[in-house]
Amino acid sequence: MDLHIVKDQAEGGRVGFQVFKAALDDGAKVLGLATGSSPITIYNELAGSQLDFSQLTSVNLDEYVGLKADHPQSYHYFMQQNLFNAKPFAHSYVPDGSNLDEAAATSQYDQIIADNPIDLQLLGLGQNGHIGFNEPGTDPESTTHKVTLTESTIAANARFFENEDDVPRYAYSMGIGSILKAKQILIVAYGEAKASAVAAMIEGPVTPDVPASYLQTHPRVTVILDAAAASQL
Ligand code: GLP
């Protein structure tokens, strides 16, 4: 893993931007995107840049089940606000959380990923070591699937909702297997609350208990951390 320890999230945005720029310079056509607070500074840098995404495709990691695309807490909406309004792509895909037919929603998304192999996948890291919404225990070969969110993830994401009861209990997520097929991966994590997950991801055994530990098996991973997130390494 190529590890960068940065001063703060703003610097992480600039370092992450350079990873995206280099991938585009190398001919990347499909970008795998992520939500959460950690990628926001990278999106700010991308949104304010000269980079042109109008011929590219984006494929997002996950979406809450039961939220329509225009719900302010949906990941569709997040992407629109944080990147797509400023930088439209030729095609942007996010799992369809409004489709309650699990088999149809997940198989359609697997087809989208198969048709659009991901050149660079951006990831955040859950406090429990999840990537996308692949919670501990997820099969490392998993493809897109419906996830029951853990209590810790519901609690961690409650800050975005009026109260914890409003947080959806299910999500559609790309699987660990889908994520590992990306040619290159960039994962970003900031703050003390991520420190133990970061240490387990980088130095711990490769185990289903820590989905991010499977990144150790991928040949091309860049990690951006601040000092607090790196403090248990
Ligand atoms: C959610 C998302 C993940 C994200 C994680 C961490 O659970 N599904 O993709 O990585 O939150 O978010 P944050 O960056 O806000 O800490």
Q: Is the CB of 149 inside a 6 Å radius of any atom of ligand 1?
A: no
Q: Is the CB of 198 inside a 6 Å radius of any atom of ligand 1?
A: no
Structural domains for the chain: 2-226 (3.40.50.1360)
Q: Is the CB of 64 inside a 6 Å radius of any atom of ligand 1?
A: no
Average pLDDT in the chain = 96
pLDDT of residue 173: 98
Q: Is the CB of 61 inside a 6 Å radius of any atom of ligand 1?
A: yes
Which of ligand 1's atoms lies nearest the C-alpha of 189? 14
**CA atoms of 123 and 65, how far apart (whole Å):** 20
pLDDT of residue 121: 98
Strand order in the sheet with 2-6: 2-6, 221-226, 184-189, 120-123, 30-33, 57-60, 91-93
Q: Is the CB of 57 inside a 6 Å radius of any atom of ligand 1?
A: no
pLDDT of residue 123: 98
Which of ligand 1's atoms lies nearest the C-alpha of 149? 7
Q: Which pTM value belongs to this model? A: 0.96
Which of ligand 1's atoms lies nearest the C-alpha of 125? 10
Residues 131-176 pLDDT 10s: 999 999 999 999 999 999 989 889 988 988 998 999 999 999 999 9
- How remote is the CA of residue 131 from the centroid of ligand 1, in Å? 8
Closest C-alpha to ligand 1, atom 3: 132
Active site residue ranges: 62, 128, 130, 135
Please report, as a single letter, which amino acid is at residue 63: E
Q: Is the CB of 173 inside a 6 Å radius of any atom of ligand 1?
A: no
- How remote is the CA of residue 123 from the centroid of ligand 1, in Å? 8
Residues 90-139 pLDDT 10s: 999 999 999 999 999 999 999 999 999 999 999 999 999 999 999 999 99
Q: ipTM strictly over 0.90?
A: yes
- How remote is the CA of residue 38 from the centroid of ligand 1, in Å? 7
Residues 170-222 pLDDT 10s: 999 999 999 999 999 999 999 999 999 999 999 999 999 999 999 999 999 99
Which of ligand 1's atoms lies nearest the C-alpha of 34? 9
For residue 50, is pLDDT > 90? Answer: yes
